[in-house]
Amino acid sequence: MKNIFTILFGMLISMMIYAQPCTPDPAYNQVGVYPDSLPKANINVFYNEFLTAIIPADTTVSGVTAIVDSVKVTNVTGLPAGVTYATNPINGVILGGTKACIAFTGTVVDPSLIGTHPITINATAYGRLYGTMAIEIPYDFTGYKLIVEAGSGIKDFSKSAFEVNNIFPNPANNIANLSIYSNEASFVSVNIKDITGRIVFSNDYDINSGDNLLKLNISSLPEGIYFCSIVKDSSIITRKLVINR
């Protein structure tokens, strides 16, 4: 009987994890929103990326300390048609001193949407001054943009020196393909972490100038949600990877 309850509990936890639109990236531990920019989207290619937000437990303004009870994400505007957002926690309420994430998923099909789409995250912060005085502060978080490209395979010379274009299939089974662009021949380190931050896969790869496709053998990893970090020189790019068999 004990084994049955253990199995059922494990299945319940797995279902709860997969039901979430995203999982905060354990690579980030400082207050803020990460990464600094969203990966580009391509026409008729499914988009699935997320931001990790770390909310402070308190903050000081003009010498006065305010307790941060929560921050609620109320809306995200500026997304191109076909892409929607969802939060974890589902209700968009992020408690002070905790992590959360905002997922952006969907497919852009209209070629007229090729271009740059500035994004605004609308939120409201709730807290207390002097321990008991309730405060409510609306805030519009700007600075992010979603760039939609044609995805025709024609070289874009405006590319940065190093980009991770995609990881697919995602969810993956035993092999995950990592599409990387580099402006020079070099090497990259690929580290995969589980949701606790433990490194479960690590390998170095030589890459050529231009587009590269790396095949990651993940057959030894159990099903679950992981974070794949690609390191080149001082650049670190992290992508979520789901293994589902």
Strand order in the sheet with 186-194: 199-207, 186-194, 224-232, 235-243
Under the banding of pLDDT at 50, 70 and 90, the label for residue 6 is very low
> Cβ(119)–Cβ(145) under 8 Å?
yes
> Cβ(153)–Cβ(179) under 8 Å?
no
Is 50 exceeded by the pLDDT of residue 131?
Answer: yes
Residues 162 and 145 both lie in one domain = no
Mean of pLDDT values over 101-106: 93
Domain boundary among 113, 131, 149: 149
Under the banding of pLDDT at 50, 70 and 90, the label for residue 130 is confident
Whether 52 maps to a domain, the answer reads yes
Whether 24 maps to a domain, the answer reads no
Tokens for 115, please give them. Answer: 């271009």
Residues 109 and 89 both lie in one domain = yes
Task: Using only the alpha carbons of the chain, give its radius of gyration.
Answer: 20
| Domain of residue 132, CATH code | 2.60.40
| Domain of residue 180, CATH code | 2.60.40.3080
Residues 134 and 224 both lie in one domain = no
* Amino acid identity at 147: I
> What are the tens digits of pLDDT across the range 65-98?
889 999 999 999 999 999 999 999 989 999 999 9
Whether 224 maps to a domain, the answer reads yes
CA distances to 208, 232, 234 from 205, rounded to whole Å, are: 10, 10, 16
pLDDT of residue 14: 40
pLDDT of residue 159: 54
Domain that residue 179 falls in: 156-243
> Cβ(46)–Cβ(154) under 8 Å?
no
